[in-house]
Every structure is written in structure tokens, then in C-alpha cells.
Amino acid sequence: MRRTSAVFEAKETADPTLQEILVALSYALDLTEGAVPGHAIRSCLLGVRIALAMGLDHGTISDLYYASLLKDVGCSSNSARMCQIVGGDDRAVKAGTKLVDWTQPLKPELATVKLLWEQVLPGASRFGRGWRMLKIAARQKETSRELIELRCDRGAQIVRKLGLGDTIAVAVRHLDEHWNGGGYPLALKGRDIPMISRIMAVAQHLDAFCMDQGPQTAIDVLIERKKRWFDPDLTAVAVALHKSGDLWLQCLPGYPADETYATVMKLHKNKHKALSSADIDSICEAFSDVVDAKSPFTFRHSLGVRDAAVAIGNTLGLAEDRMLVLRRAALLHDLGKLGVSNSILDKNGKLTDEEFALVKGHPSMSAQILSRVAAFDEISVIAGEHHEKLDGSGYPNRLTEDDLSLESRVLAVADIFGALSEERPYREALGPEKITSIMEKDVPKKLDAVCFEALRVVMAGAVWPSKEDRREIGMGCSLPGMQAAAVKV
């Protein structure tokens, strides 16, 4: 029997720990980079082994552990820009650049040329693609600096928002510095680069190459790039661990993912750090920022959906414990969209059947990621249902009204409201009258009538910004409108 929100049976679980939540949500960050699932936790495991072999103190290793899980937390912020520059799949380009030496544009490797040719302006003429490649090569340094600064600065901001401190934030910010000073964002050199950043750079390199070309190639390229990209002392430690057979345990291609996950969960001694309900909400909000940063057209979408869902829930008189579940599901419902290319999300036109099939997979991916946190079990089910419809015409599982709880129905209404009230590549943000006229066509066949009526009450009390105000603050009207309505309710 399929698990759905309407028949969900809650089980008593322990309060989630910081470690449990961040390990689980790191899988969402892997999606952004087009990485093999589990990249962050394998990088964490490899990095900690190197740190232990060096005899680093427990505090530094603890910071390295959390920094490794969050090293890519800023990556969604440059996805739209990457797509704009290349004209193709940002996730494929990001994954590919992990395997090429982008610091030598005048001596491009065959793999670099092949990667760009496959991804630059798909469908364009040979001349158009070739011209775009020349432009990219000519501006390689400026472009690399811009993209890395976007991700590193945003990553450090989110780490600080999570309350993890300056050491981890600084380490994340300087992940892409190189030993010879050729990296970004500040061109730090040698031991001026934070130790944790240097270890993470080695660890992520090892995992990316190992997953694609095997462990020996990963070591060979590490050695070739030492003193240019990588700390020679860290390189020597990694090579020694490789030779002793201690480096790759639980990290090789084909190794059971659940066992790698279990190993990383056992690795950290402070795994039982207590989290308050407010702490958990802050983490959910921080990761909603990661999702919303992926596209300029979804900027603050998750927060807007949260505000709409909370306002509707208040109108319906939901109990406090139900509101907590609804609020967190709304914040995290679109985690799976990190696995969808911006060439699809930001497309100015109708999606192809193949493209829409990729979009339809994102609720299932959200549910899969969230289900790794035991205390988020119901949240994962509701998040996975936010595109389902009462008549079975939704996706991904074509559920019907008997399968969908009240909270799930509220989220579906709030998500549609949020999408319509925001700008899209093919239209401007819509106002309340247009939103109402579009949504009421689906009531009660597809959307719950009670939830929709609650939305109408909320909309009537909302303060709607003008087009000029929306343009100035860079968002749709859902966030300020729903915040005002939630207060009035």
C-alpha cells in the first residue's frame, strides 16, 4: 500500500540532530552540482580521514565535518548565470568542470572542448556554438571569478545564517582557492588558505574523479596538480592513505550508499547536539533559500508558499502541531528542483515532453531527501504531494482526494498561488483578480474548495504591492501579501 498523507501514521521518533538534518539535506546540494548522489558525504569521509592522519585536533575535525557537508550550499546561486553564459545544462557543465583544468584556457584539454561543445547552445548552428565557445574562452578568468564569488559568498552567508560560526563560513568561502594563488575568490596562496578549505578541495577532487574515472586516476591527477591546485603535504597524506588501503573505504563506485551514509553518521562525536524547534525552522528556512536562489523567477518562492500556507492554515484553524508540519513542508517542498537544469526552469517557452518529465520528478526527489530525517517523515510525504490533484490528474503518482490530507491540500493551493503571483520567463506576475479567475476553474475538481475559499479570505485581507514595487524588490507579490494577511488572520 502506497504511503500517502491521508493515511499517514505518525511514529514516535527522537528529536532530529543537526548532524542528521545536514547529512540528509547534503543530498539536495549534490543535485545542484550534477554530482553522483552522496558526493558531499563521501567528500566528508575522505576529508576527515586525511585530517585524522594529520593528527588535527577534534575541534578542527568537527568544523571540517560540517563544512564538508555544506561546501556546496551556495552553488544554486550561480546556476542561472552559468546557464546564461553557456546556453545549456548548468548541472552538466558544473559536473564536467570538476574533471577539467579550467585554469589553463589557452591550453584546453580535449575533455574541456568536448564538454563545452556538448553543452553550449544546443540546437544552434555550428558557427553560433563555435562563436559562443570563443567568447567563453576569452572571458574565462572573469567568468570563473564571477561564478565562484557568487557561490562562495552566498555559501558563507548561509552557513552564518545556520549559526555555525565564522570558521566554517570562511572555510566554505575559500573552497576554490588554489595553492599557487590561481584560485578564487581572493587568490589566496599557500598556507594563507584555511586548512579546512585545503582539505575539502582535495577531498572533493578525489570523490569527483573516483566516481567518474576510478581511484587511481583520482590520485594521479591529484599528484599532477599538487603545488598548483593542492597543498603538497595534504597530497602526500592522501597518497599514503591510498597506498595503505585506508582512503577509499565506503567511498568507491558501487559501494552500498546506505553503508556510506551509516559510516558518516557514526563518524562525528557531537552528533547529539540538541536542536530547538526554532533551530529546526531556521535550518528549513536556510535550505529554502538555497532552492529559491536557483532561478531569478523563483526568488523567495518557498518563503512565499510558506506564508500563503500559514495564512490559509490559520484561517482554517489548524492546530499548532499541524501548522508546524505544514510550515516546514512548505519551506522544503521544492528541494527536488535543485536537480532540474535552469535551461528548463528558466525556459521562455513551452517545455518538451522530455523536459516536463524531468520537472515532474522533482516532488519525488524532495520526498526522498527529506525521508532521510526520521522526524521529517510526514513532511516528506506532504512535500512529495504538492503537485497532486483531487481528481488524480496531478503528479508524480496521480493520487486522488482519498489520498490527500488537509495539509497536503493546503500546500497544493499555496504553491499554485505562489507560482501565479510570481514573474515567469513567459509572463509577468499576476494580480489577485487574475489569480482567482485561473484557480477557481480547478475548484472543486482538482483543488480543495475549502482551502481555496480560505485563500480567497486571505487574499482579500492582503496588502498587494504595485508592479513598480514588485520590480524594485525583485519578487512576486506572494511574500508581502501573505505576510500581511497572516498577521490579520
Domains of the chain (ranges; CATH) run 18-76+146-267 (1.10.3210.10), 278-488 (1.10.3210.10)
Nearest by Cα to 42 from 338, 362, 256, 288: 256
Range of lowest pLDDT (26-40, 70-84, 122-136): 122-136
pLDDT at 270: 60
Q: Is the pLDDT of residue 47 over 90?
A: yes
* pTM recorded for the entire structure: 0.91
pLDDT digits (tens, 9 = 90+) for 377-416: 999 999 999 999 999 999 999 999 999 999 999 999 999 9
Query: Taking residues 407-435, what's their average pLDDT?
Result: 91
Q: Is the pLDDT of residue 68 over 90?
A: yes
pLDDT at 276: 92
Q: From CA 237, how far away is CA 198, in angstroms rounded?
A: 13
Of 78 and 323, more confident = 323
Q: Are 280 and 426 in contact (CB under 8 A)?
A: no
Amino acid at 282: S
pLDDT at 78: 87
At residue 100 the predicted structure's pLDDT band, cuts being 50, 70 and 90, is confident
Active site residues: 337
Q: From CA 385, how far away is CA 382, in angstroms rounded?
A: 5
Q: Give the number of other Cβ atoms within 10 Å of residue 152's Cβ.
A: 25
Cis omega (within 30 of 0) for bond into 396 = yes
pLDDT at 10: 82
Range of lowest pLDDT (122-126, 261-265, 455-459): 122-126
pLDDT digits (tens, 9 = 90+) for 199-246: 999 999 999 999 999 999 999 999 999 999 999 999 999 999 999 999
Of 422 and 487, more confident = 422
pLDDT digits (tens, 9 = 90+) for 103-138: 665 555 556 666 667 777 777 787 777 777 777 777
Q: From CA 220, how far away is CA 214, in angstroms rounded?
A: 10
Q: From CA 375, how far away is CA 103, in angstroms rounded?
A: 44
At residue 486 the predicted structure's pLDDT band, cuts being 50, 70 and 90, is very low
Q: Which residue has the cell 521562455?
A: 348
